Amino acid sequence: MKKLPHRYFQFALPLGTSFFMTFLVTGVATWRVLGWDKAMFKMWFTSWMIAWAIAAPTMFFMMPVVRRALSNVFETDP
Tell me: the pLDDT tens digits for 35-78? Answer: 888 888 899 999 999 999 999 999 999 998 998 999 899 987 76
Give pTM, 2 decimals.
0.75
Quote the pLDDT of residue 18: 94
In whole angstroms, give the CA distance from residue 64 to residue 54. 17
Quote the pLDDT of residue 20: 95
Residue type, 66: V
Quote the pLDDT of residue 78: 66
In whole angstroms, give the CA distance from residue 66 to residue 40. 34
Q: Domain residue spans in the chain?
A: 37-77
CB atoms within 10 A of CB 18: 21
Kindly state the average pLDDT of the residues 3-28. 92
